[in-house]
Structure 1
Amino acid sequence: MSFSIWALVIGALLITMALAGSLMKRLPVSASMFYLVVGYGLGSAGWGLMAPEPHRTAAILERVSEVALLISLFSVGLKLGLPFSSHHWRLPLRLAFVSMTLTVGLISLVGVFWLALPLGAAVLLGGILAPTDPVLASDVQVDDPHDSDRLRFSLTGEGGLNDAAAFPFVLLGLGLLGMHQLGAGGWRWLGIDVLWALAGGLAIGAILGALIGKLVVYLRTRHQEAVGLDEFLALGLVALAFGVAQLAHASGFLSVFAAGLALQRVKERSRRQKAPQEGQAGLQDKESHLAVATHPNLAGAYMMQAVRGFNEQLERIAELVIVLAVGAMLAYVRVDLATTAFLVLLFFVLRPLAVWLGLLGAQVSGDQRLLIAWFGIRGIGSIYYLMFALNHGLTGSLADQAINITLSAVAASIILHGISVTPLMSLYARRQAGKSRRSDSENRRHEIR
């Protein structure tokens, strides 16, 4: 596919999304569904303009999907503004570690006893498919850092945490297949790939995010320096957190997520005032922007607004590229009865069961529990882990089976969740509003009495 054709296709897609983006939000159709269909049409099953054969393009797709995940994880960290002391954090932590681990175990059992996979391949498949996606789940994520809705906060936090939490299981699966060093009795896997990777990733990202954020705010408020180029700040912090963590053999994904969380807290300590939006009266000229960017009470919030806006735009572009590639690769998928039955189990049995067990005793409503169980969206994280496995020795029939199941699961998730997200979230919002009105009415009656 020539550069001119690529330019034509990408340009047409970007303009189409810019013109139809608002309409899509009101319809049971997601942007990812549109990209998937276009990618399928461009692939060898359609016009044949692009043919990303999974085995041959695994190296480049691993890197592209890795970058997309890093951008999204940083963006998720910027969105979660509730303090760590809030009880709202209990749900995403339980989902990301308890429910995700249960999902890996359940998929492994199905893989061994039904799909007749070796234990290592079954665990690897569980690690690939267990994490939910932080990129494609934007319609069910929090929009405001102070959003305390349990459903949106839980799904957002889960998507940010479980990509890192699933990586040890991918490595365990590869190790059981003889493609990764686990150490005697699994000590290396447990000590480095699990404990140090998670703890070190969190610590490195939190330290770097806090230090860089405080430094920028200090320079802006005290010396009127380091103003502008917030895009460089976002990309630089993502790259720095990831690079330091990887060199330290810690989790780069968790480090980038923690860096976003820490940078968000720098904003929170800036007296909790919001920066005015661009375009308001008095903020049109360069001097006014400089005044806001260096104001002691607004510098942190202004920085966060700029960084988050830029990062969300990058996230959308990354989504377009990866989902286009997934759509084109569907030509290599064989949809058979076994794969279809496995997907039904994954979406309607395994994920709901893992969520139910992971949230036992949690203070969450029935509506929220059902929607959390349903919106276990599979996407770019699964594509990354699949390509990682292919690049680290997974070959032959096991590789073909992993490709077939993973691409089918991602495509099915994009379609099923894309169709259902708008009506289900609208229904949820109406039910929550109704509960709020009934609660207010009861409170007024008590006050009158």
Structure 2
Amino acid sequence: MNEDHLFTLGVIVVGLLLIVMTMSSSFIARLPLSAAMLYLLVGIGIGPAGLGLLTLDPLFDADLLERLTEIAVLISLFTAGLKLEMPLRDRRWRIPVQLASVSMVLTIAAITALGYWVMNLPLGAAVLLGAILAPTDPVLASDVQVSDPGDRDRLRFGLTGEGGLNDGTAFPFVMLGLGLLSLHDLGDGGWRWWTIDVVWGVVGGLGIGYLLGALVGRAILYLRVRHREALGSDEFIALGLIALAYGVAVLCKSYGFLAVFAAALALRRIDDVSTPVETGQSAAPNPVDKAKSGTTADAEPSTEEAPGHMMRQVERFNAQLERFAEVAVVLAIGALLMVVKFSNEVLWFIPVLFLVIRPLAVYVGLLGTQVLPSQRRLIAWFGIRGIGSIYYLMYAITHGLEPELANRLLALTLAVVVASIVAHGVSVTPLMRTYEKRRSARGKAKEPPV
């Protein structure tokens, strides 16, 4: 079969997949399945072991896979940030912050110990493996995340915030692993790692992103509310702010993932600082501008509704982008499965990670927080690994990781991600349905006081 026929057949398969998923989405939501599981099966089917429509070499195509997963994570981080409307002063923020710091560091330390003393990996590779597998995934965890911005449930809020934060807070440990493998400059005594990779990378990324999100959001609202300008094209806000926050943060040697998440948090909060139209100022849109923007008088939001209208449009567009990114990356993961050689160590490593390391790290990380035991158990179980882990692995490969070591880490990482897609995909519907029923029975979540 020539390349033209392969491309045509591939387009047909993808088209059928998208249509079938649209038609069956409600049905799938009631089953112990996830969309990612079906994408994974299709990826295997169109990979080398099936139709051969998608063939990837994880080392040769590392640059492509790095960019693909990077874009997917950026879109998902922005989506996660938009969902978190809770004021930053609320004590519930301790849950995701402690999960993304204390629990993540403990997870990295435990994986490092196993990698170094049990699997005989070099220390740098063991640290790198821990950093790759410690972050939870904001892309594949949508079923257990905040369902709407006003959701105050500690379980969903904690998992959403953790997924948004720890994809950035894991980056210093990726750099530490690369440094121990002589692939990154840590500085004498590690000074550069502490000051640039840890302190500035995290603080700078959060600060730059939040500042840009606030400035862009307020500027757009100011033009819309006071001058009836910058109307329409809300979709461009998401794309523009993601690109701007990420680009500026990386240019300033800080972490773009954290910047994008923080930018979304700031954009979500512009509703609290929006400025009403001054008395006597005309609120009627210019007919020419209205025609250019494609809006109508009936559809035009009022001054009070402008922030909420903009956020709804941005959220809807970003959620659609996230679904497309999920399809592309999980299909690639399915195709990669047939070109990777797995060793027996994955058979014991995965259960230890899911059933021992994650629960213990969550238990310690949530000390001092007002979380119910049932919520703590579900947070411990739903430490979903996915696209972020693939990105970090590809990042390490493109930065000079030795092929033999890269293949071993690739086998471990892919095994964990696939196991997570299957185990969490099968369990998410029944577990969350039971949780919601018990929550309703308690009188709409009579949670501990804040």
- State the TM-score, normalizing by the size of structure 2: 0.92
Equivalent in the alignment of 1:430: 437
Structure 2 letter corresponding to 1:18: T
Structure 1 letter corresponding to 2:267: L
Tell whether 2:354 aligns with 1:350.
no
Structure 1 CA distance for aligned equivalents of residues 364 and 275 of structure 2: 40
Structure 2 CA distance for aligned equivalents of residues 357 and 87 of structure 1: 18
Equivalent in the alignment of 2:323: 316
Equivalent in the alignment of 1:287: 296
Q: CA deviation at 1:359?
A: 1.3
1:104 to 97, 105, 108: 108
CA 1:16–1:437 in structure 2 vs 1: closer, same or farther (change >3 Å)? closer
Worse-matched range after superposition: 353-362 or 364-373: 353-362
Equivalent in the alignment of 1:57: 61
Equivalent in the alignment of 1:372: 379
| Per-residue Cα deviation, 1:198-241 (whole angstroms, up to 9, x for no partner) | 11111111111011101111111111110111111110000000
1:213 to 212, 217, 223: 217
Q: How does 1:57-76 map to 2 (within 5 A)?
A: 57-76=61-80
1:247 to 239, 245, 251: 251
2:418 to 400, 408, 411: 411
Equivalent in the alignment of 1:445: none
Q: CA deviation at 1:44?
A: 1.0
Worse-matched range after superposition: 240-249 or 6-15: 6-15
Structure 2 CA distance for aligned equivalents of residues 219 and 270 of structure 1: 11
Structure 1 CA distance for aligned equivalents of residues 239 and 39 of structure 2: 25
Tell whether 2:400 aligns with 1:393.
yes
Equivalent in the alignment of 1:341: 348
Tell whether 2:300 aligns with 1:296.
no
CA 1:44–1:215 in structure 2 vs 1: closer, same or farther (change >3 Å)? same
Q: CA deviation at 1:267?
A: 2.4
Tell whether 2:120 aligns with 1:116.
yes
Equivalent in the alignment of 1:282: none
Q: How does 1:147-158 map to 2 (within 5 A)?
A: 147-158=151-162
Equivalent in the alignment of 2:199: 195
Q: CA deviation at 1:270?
A: 4.6
Worse-matched range after superposition: 394-403 or 178-187: 394-403
Tell whether 2:139 aligns with 1:135.
yes
Percent identical pairs in the alignment equals: 56
1:363 to 364, 370, 383: 370
Equivalent in the alignment of 2:291: none
Structure 2 CA distance for aligned equivalents of residues 438 and 376 of structure 1: 22
Q: CA deviation at 1:361?
A: 3.0
Q: Which runs of 4+ in 1 moved over 4 A?
A: 437-440
Structure 1 letter corresponding to 2:415: S
Paired residues of 2:112 and 2:123 also in contact (CA < 8 A): yes
Equivalent in the alignment of 1:261: 265
CA 1:215–1:334 in structure 2 vs 1: closer, same or farther (change >3 Å)? same
CA 1:338–1:232 in structure 2 vs 1: closer, same or farther (change >3 Å)? same
Equivalent in the alignment of 2:290: none
- State the TM-score, normalizing by the size of structure 1: 0.92
| Per-residue Cα deviation, 1:334-382 (whole angstroms, up to 9, x for no partner) | 3433111001111111111111111123221111010000000000000
Q: CA deviation at 1:394?
A: 0.7
Paired residues of 2:112 and 2:129 also in contact (CA < 8 A): yes
Equivalent in the alignment of 2:178: 174
Structure 2 CA distance for aligned equivalents of residues 437 and 125 of structure 1: 41
- Where in structure 2 are there 5+ consecutive unaligned residues? 277-293
- Where in structure 1 are there 5+ consecutive unaligned residues? 273-284, 441-449
Structure 2 CA distance for aligned equivalents of residues 319 and 299 of structure 1: 30
Paired residues of 1:271 and 1:297 also in contact (CA < 8 A): no
The 3-state SS of whatever aligns with 1:291 is coil
Structure 2 letter corresponding to 1:344: P
